[in-house]
Structure 1
């Protein structure tokens, strides 16, 4: 059940609604007024006109405090309450740390299912909407293998490779779907059952888009950039030269992510996009274990995970629970590492307190220090 929205979340939703999902306008207004709260105050609205914003945003803001627009906005809030299990502003401690370094991060996320999935290591699998049977099987097999190893498989809920990737991870209850619409609808509509399965089997659905947002074409590159940003690496399972997954791969490379491409027959049009990516520097893989090797995840975490997998008595109850006072710190850690000063700034705590808490997490086997940064070393399952 969705917790009551905080004032920061309410202000963020308000501004996000007024600028109609425009990232540039949102962050320009936040910077100009010093905070999101200041930007949406009635006395601030007349000042928007001097900031070079789109005329639609100005008109929407000028009409916002009229009874008709307030009624419409309240309807949006009711939809959020109805369809969301969680809402995260980028100021919230639970907001995924993977997204924070990017200037185009979504200011707010709406989600269904397990919030904890966002805090676990993710690997994205993307590809053609019209794959060959061979490509669909490969996506399923890679997803099944990697999710069995403890990784959340993220994709975009599209037809084809995305669908196979989600299905491959469902048996291990580790998949995350990023949508290009509001949570009140499913696109494509024939994936309604798949979407329900994801939520029912401890998966997660997220979107940056407000309710009543249709599946517009320009929303899908935005969805794809979030799929790659959340993940440690992106696997392109099968793609033609004009596949949208090629754009996802290039976005991932710009974000500094590792891009993996699975090769195929040289005369197959289904694989030409993957071959092009390999020529441009993507890593050729033909077995999912190679992905784990190239990601070079902390060896301590891999050893712990292997011992858990091989232990006949291992169970969810055997894994340590995180004390409540350590949760904010644990939520700030990820699989690539965070420096102590970075953690101190985000958590607004002194170094001595953080050092003591990090030591507690290390003793629980949930954190490790490597090359001067602190990393997670075991996922919560």
Structure 2
């Protein structure tokens, strides 16, 4: 059940509503004002105009300050509260740390299921919506293996490869779906049951889109940056030359993520996209363990996962309250002491002491001068 929205969350949602999901518009307003509350005041229209906001955003701003506009937004908030199990803004401790380095990160994430799933180590598996039976089986097998090792499988809830990956990872209760619509809709509609299973079996279904956002074509390439951004690496299981999964691979490469491609028959049209990626520098893999090796994850962490592929929640240590904020800042790839000090606004001696506590509890690991998570905690 969704906790009451904070004032800061409501302000972020309001601006997101006014700029109609425009990342550029949101960042422009956010950069100009010390507080979003100031930006939303009725007298700020001239400032919005001077900042060069789109005319549709200016019109929406004016409408918002009418009785009808207020009512419309209140209905939107009610839908969010009814449909969401969690709402995360960039300022919230539970916002996925792996997205923070990117300037195009979603300002607001609406979600159903378990918000903590977003903080777990993820690998994306994507591919064609109309794959061959062999491609579906490959995606299923890779997702099954990787989720068994402790990784969450992130994908886009689409038909074909996405569907197979989600279904396999559900066997180990480890999958995350990123949608290209508001949470009030499911696309494709026949995946309503799959979506419900993800929500109810330890996973999460998320979207950056407000309620009533329809499945428009431009929304699906856009959500791919979240799929790749959340993940340690992206595996393209099967794709033709025009597959949308190639956009995910391109975005992942731009984000500095590892891109893996599974090869196929040289005459098969189903595999031409994967072969193109390999020619462009993607890593060829024919076994999921190769992805783990190429990601160069700490050997100690992998060993711990192999020993407890299905860890019981009761066995996970509690994170002491005074360490919770720092633990939430840790990710699965590692950050230096300076990076953590900047994010937590703590001095080095205090931070070092807290990191040592987390290491002693088995919740953090130091590797090559960087600190990273090694268990989920609760």
Aligned to 1:124: 124
Which residue of the partner structure matches residue 170 of structure 2? 170
**Alpha-carbon contact 1:123-1:153 (below 8 Å) kept:** yes
Cα distance in 1 for residues equivalent to 2:286 and 2:21:
39
Contact 2:19-2:25 at 8 Å conserved across structures: yes
- Match for residue 237 of structure 1? 237
Q: Cα RMSD (Å) of the superposition?
A: 1.4
* Alpha-carbon distance, 1:65 to partner: 1.1
The answer on whether the counterparts of 1:46 and 1:62 sit within 8 Å (CA) in structure 2 is: no
Asked whether the 8 Å contact 1:150–1:379 carries over to 2, the reply is no
**Secondary structure of 2:270's partner?**
helix
Equivalent residues of 2:150, 2:309 under 8 A apart? no
Distance between the aligned counterparts of 1:297 and 1:368, measured in 2?
A: 12
- Aligned match of 2:23: 23
- Give me the TM-score of the superposition, normalised by structure 2: 0.97
Partner of 1:37: 37
Counterpart in the other structure of 2:359: 362
Q: Indicate the residue corresponding to 2:247 in structure 1.
A: 247
Contact 1:234-1:252 at 8 Å conserved across structures:
yes
Any idea what the Cα deviations from partners look like across 1:1-40, whole Å, max 9, x if unmatched? 1111111111100000000000001101111223322211
1:77 aligns to what?
A: 77
SS in 1 for 2:205: strand
**Does residue 196 of the first structure (1) align with residue 193 of the second (2)?**
no
Per-residue deviation, residues 317-364 of structure 1 (Å, max 9, x unmatched): 223222232221111000111122322232233333222211111001
Q: Distance in 2 between matches of 1:42 and 1:351?
A: 44
SS at structure 1 position matched to 2:157: coil
How many positions carry a matched residue from both structures? 378
**Residue range with higher mean Cα deviation, 322-331 or 48-57:** 322-331
User: 1:123 Cα shift?
Assistant: 0.1
* Secondary structure at the counterpart of residue 124 of structure 2: strand
Q: What is the CA distance between 1:309 and its match in structure 2?
A: 4.1
Q: Is the aligned partner of 1:320 residue 2:332?
A: no
**Where do 1:335-350 residues align within 5 Å?**
335-350=332-347
What does residue 187 of structure 1 align with? 187
Contact 2:319 2:377 in 1 (8 A): no
Query: Helix, strand or coil for the counterpart of 2:171?
Result: helix
After TM superposition, the structure 1 = structure 2 runs for residues 90-105 of structure 1, keeping only pairs within 5 Å, are: 90-105=90-105
Q: Which runs of 5+ in 1 are unaligned?
A: none
Judge conservation of contact 2:261–2:283 (CA < 8 Å) in 1. yes
Alpha-carbon distance in 2 for matches of 1:254, 1:347 = 27
Q: Deviation at 1:380?
A: 4.6
Deviation at 1:368, TM superposition (A): 1.2
2:331 aligned with 1:334, yes or no? yes
1:115 paired with 2:115, answer: yes
Contact 1:178–1:205 under 8 Å retained in 2: yes
DSSP-derived class of the 2:238 partner: coil
Q: Does 1:279 align with 2:276?
A: no
Structure 2 counterpart of 1:292? 292
Show CA shifts across 1:79-119 (max 9, x none): 00000011011111111111111110110100000111111
Q: Is the 8 A contact 1:127 1:161 kept in 2?
A: yes
Cα deviation 1:118-158 (Å, max 9, x = unaligned): 11000000000000000001101100000000000000000
Q: Which runs of 5+ in 2 are unaligned?
A: none
Contact 1:120 1:380 (8 Å CA) reproduced = no
Aligned partner of 1:259 in structure 2 is 259
- Partner of 1:168, secondary structure, is helix
Q: Does 2:368 align with 1:371?
A: yes
Judge which range, 370-379 or 242-251, deviates more.
Answer: 370-379
SS in structure 1 of the partner of residue 110 of structure 2: strand
Equivalents in 1 of 2:76, 2:222: separation in Å? 21
Tell me, in whole angstroms, the C-alpha distance in 1 between the residues paired with 2:193 and 2:21.
Answer: 28
**CA contact 2:161–2:237 (8 Å) conserved in 1:** yes
| Aligned 8 A contact 2:126 2:245 in 1 | yes
Deviation at 1:217, TM superposition (A): 1.2
The separation in 1 between residues aligned to 2:280 and 2:268, in whole angstroms, is 19
Within 1, Cα distance between the matches of 2:54 and 2:186?
Answer: 29
Matched, 1:151 2:148: no
